[in-house]
Chain A
């Protein structure tokens, strides 16, 4: 299938419980291969829910997500995406090396190929030398890098990230943002990135999906026309501030609209 969108979300709605809260309403989105898209919005806007619909971890009440021309379910079975959560979610009984190789073990790779691949990935996330450490011996930022390496092991064309740096301090977050961009450029994968941080969304993404809450809807798509590769200087460009302001105002609008309603 040529020209298939990396992710195509077709009229997705999600209601939790019988007559319960409507988390998502009629979401329509298309992400192109190789894009870096952020989902941003107030808490309760359903951005994490949308990410889980894409990953086939939650069934939508209506509509469907199509991943590279396949149903989300088939894409999950085919291991087409890697997932990174806010908590690193490492297995604390496994060493760094064995955490990263976990998906490969399940896919039946043999030991030496696994070793080789893990070595490459730890190099990519700059954790060479930490193979035999246990997760609790690492800082939060390092743990999250292990989680990213683990999500990349089997070379998925899509990476889903649910506030991966949300629990980290700002310095670490800025550094990991740069690293993530470098990794993204090296792999050419499509990234769908959920965040609370306006600066992070603008700095990383080629497009920002601004969502509003209760029910979660797409308020606006903001094209981020800052050139890649982005550096620390990007954060100081006037255009960066303009875009961040635009996103901030959109978020405020949706918040005010809700207050009035």
Chain B
């Protein structure tokens, strides 16, 4: 278990972390969310001693992290970076060796990861010759090549096309199923909801909401009701006019104990019900609610 314990960090007048605490469990994927400048990257850098917190610490299984433990962690920084002139396979193997793998193991692991990302035929290509998406895959392979206990991935989905996103998400799910603890940051909330089981939302350097995604959603006291009658949004009434959100959806905000049966009957009186959805808030809603700008 990777624990962030009461992290504090200031850069001059800017407070980057203000008492941040949360855990990442083995075998689970944790989405780390927050607006730009909330302190996500600073917190992640603290894991690798790239930033030293003013107070608090990061622990692994309740013990301080020394350099031998560091080597069992994998990191993909937000600012992508690889040696442009080095060949893809050579580069992945190099980072494997830097993490302690022996020559043979490193070459083998590099080949395995290239195959996993369908890049086996590009092993001898220089990184600068690869497409953006493929560079991203090589970057992830460099972070994971030594089969780490924990993967810390800063914005792993940024800059990927929908297919790339799907591949990346599948890869993360597989890794977690093998027991890896995965922490990744993102501001693409819809995406996170699909991928992660746990979520931590931070703002101004402190956690404003954390827990299991499903639990957080269901424990919310509100529910959203969306109904289409004869293929058009049903705006008749449930006691109030529906709120129209950014996407032009007409949603009624109701209590979670509302009588669904009664609502459905009421809608049926106005015509054919073509859609009926009664849902807890999604991650975007929770995020909006938690992050007061």
Answer yes or no: are A and B bound together in one complex: no
Residues of B within 8 A of A (CB): none
Residues of A within 8 A of B (CB): none
